[in-house]
Structure 1
Amino acid sequence: MNLEKCKCQNLPIDYSNFDSENFVGIDKTNGRFGEVTIRHCKNCNSFWIRYFVEYESFSESGRWFTGIIKENDIKEITPENSVEYIRSLDWYFYGGSYFRTTGKKGHGRVRVDL
């Protein structure tokens, strides 16, 4: 399947497009405790890195970032380097209560800290 035409590359993100989600770990950098996972698209076989964080003390602080990851890079991903990896992508999707959106396309800066 042509990756550009796959459902996984269109908003809103439909979690039923993914057949697996593997937990990488928790990023404790700066006390953020962000959850890092790798997902696999059942339609085009692409892999996606996902970063989710929210700060319990602050309302509307939830945010997530997800982007396509090269299969060869999966073994190199750690919770601590995941934000930098997402930042380095040509583009990614982001959303959550912090951004007041169910999803937008972005690139560059990844705003995970308060």
Structure 2
Amino acid sequence: MFVAKVTGSVVSTQKVETLRGHKLLVVEPYRLDPKDRKKLVSAGRTFVAVDTLGVGEGEYVLITQGSSARLTPETKNLPIDTVVIGIIDRVDVDKKTIFDPSK
């Protein structure tokens, strides 16, 4: 699993039948800053993920990739590689909160 920020969406009116009705998001993975373990920084990549939760742009989410992305009931038979599986409420590292969107 990875922490990621939703940075946009993908609109595709022509796609395989099994993907119709599924919202596609652009997500940017984040990681712990190796120089300052008190914050998250972009990993410098982006992915397109299937949204199973109804998240919006700017939200931080949990994503999973590869064959694990097809293990949820909603994505079981979809040709996907990345899926949003959770919305992040807070990230704690070394007993300190390093990310809390409510603050």
TM (normalized to structure 2)? Answer: 0.30
Q: Which has the larger radius of gyration?
A: 2
State the TM-score, normalizing by the size of structure 1: 0.28
Q: Which has the higher contact order (CA 8 A, sep 6+)?
A: 2
Q: In proportion to residue count, which structure has more strand?
A: 2
